[in-house]
Copies of this chain bind each other. A is one copy, B any other.
Amino acid sequence: MTQRLAGAPSSARQSTVRTTNLALVLRTVCAATGPLSRADIAGVTGMTRATAARLADELVAGGLLDELEREPVPRRGRPATPLVPGARFTALGLQSDAGLLAARVVDLRGRVVAERVEPGDLRGSDPAETLAALGALTAGVLTELPSDSLLVGAGLALPGVVDAEAGVLLRAPNLGWSDLRPAALLAGHLPAGLDVVLGNEADLAARTVAEEAPGRPGPHRDFVYLSGQIGIGGAVVLGGRVTGSSGWAGEVGHVCVDPDGPACSCGSTGCLELFAGRHALLRAAGLPLDTPAGDLARLAAAGEPAAVAALDASAWALGVALAGVVNVVGIPTVVLGGHLAELADLLRPTLEEHLAARVLSARWRRPRVVSVPGPPAAGASGAALQVLEDVLTHPARRIS
């Protein structure tokens, strides 16, 4: 007797076709930079106009797509009805970082509906207290939502190792938190029934680069992302998707750059973070630890020797660590985020030089270092995008 396995892929039936095509229509509209007509959808997906129109009608009825007013176009033929992603569907993105708390609501069109970001030094803070403050922030944000908004879920970006499936934050070195369940601590402060999924801050920030709005690809599809906060997190994005064992991956900050180097709080030696983390950089430059990255950039650009030396040391360390990553995953594009984005122009020449020397395939695909402006608290946006992903993948579930 053979048992049906839990995770086994199940067979396709007629309804699967409808489900798949509903998702395809929705994703097509979301991926477009402007409104699409029913006929456009048919053209892009290869469906007949009849099919595309019927599916679009269902999505409109369910609020997953919105019909805009017809705009007069100087063209023959019946004017098209523009379709855009439904504005009612929204998700809450939260971030609790060493330097800030953020709550942001994003809709299916990728617009920020409401947000609050509160800077503050949260290193060594009490998790219950901090998450209560985040809950209060959230409560404020939620009052700003239009009454017809449909909040589909919430995501929380955390700077550390996360077991996303179990909902446990295992270790966030720079917050000083470990082994706790943030959803439980937030629960009392959020609307009942609102699920909170966890994610690594760098993973989620990388998502905002790969996806500039829900379902809409960003400028880069394959890249190594580096999130410079107090620590350094990272993510590998392949084909627009963050890869790696979700929540456990991306600890680029603890890649060893110099095995004979100084001891790191993680237990290893010579970690990248000790050379290119924000505090390490500022300490090497002889600046106060709360100096903004922009100030360091200006000093280095002006030729201040300690600042220049600090940036050189960090570019060297980034070169060693990133060359290893690029050699292993084979993706020559590096995207810098966080404080490293602000230093990107100064780091790039030295960093690209180190990468060219250490990456085996550099002669054929030269490693490039780019920076993406990104919103403050990108992790919060990424968390919202992650939650909305479920709507894009399973629109049929949202239709009565």
Contact = CB atoms under 8 A, between A and B. Distances in A.
A319 to B, nearest CB: 9
B244 A43 contact: no
A320 B320 CA distance: 13
Contact of A12 (B21, B243, B247, B252): B21
A364 B163 contact: yes
Interface in A311-352: 316, 320-321, 323-325, 327-332
A11 B36 contact: no
Interface in A100-142: none
Nearest to A317: B259
Contact of A323 (B9, B36, B247, B256): B256
Contact of A24 (B9, B163, B248): B9
Nearest to A17: B12
B249 A328 contact: yes
Given A250-B328, A259-B257, A328-B252, A43 B361 contact: no
Interface in A223-257: 234, 236, 238, 243-252, 254-257
A4 B247 contact: no
B364 A329 contact: no
A365 interface: yes
Interface stretch (A44-52, A88-96, A191-199): A44-52
B324 A4 contact: no
Given A2-B32, A252-B328, A258-B258, 16 more contacts: A2-B43, A8-B45, A16-B17, A163-B364, A170-B361, A249-B328, A251-B327, A251-B361, A254-B360, A255-B324, A255-B328, A258-B260, A259-B320, A260-B260, A266-B358, A268-B323
Interface of A: 1-5, 8-14, 16-17, 20-21, 24, 32, 36, 40, 43-47, 51, 161, 163, 170-171, 222, 234, 236, 238, 243-252, 254-260, 266-268, 316, 320-321, 323-325, 327-332, 357-358, 360-361, 363-365
14 contacts: A3-B43, A9-B45, A11-B20, A12-B20, A171-B360, A245-B330, A246-B330, A248-B330, A248-B331, A251-B361, A255-B324, A258-B259, A259-B320, A325-B328
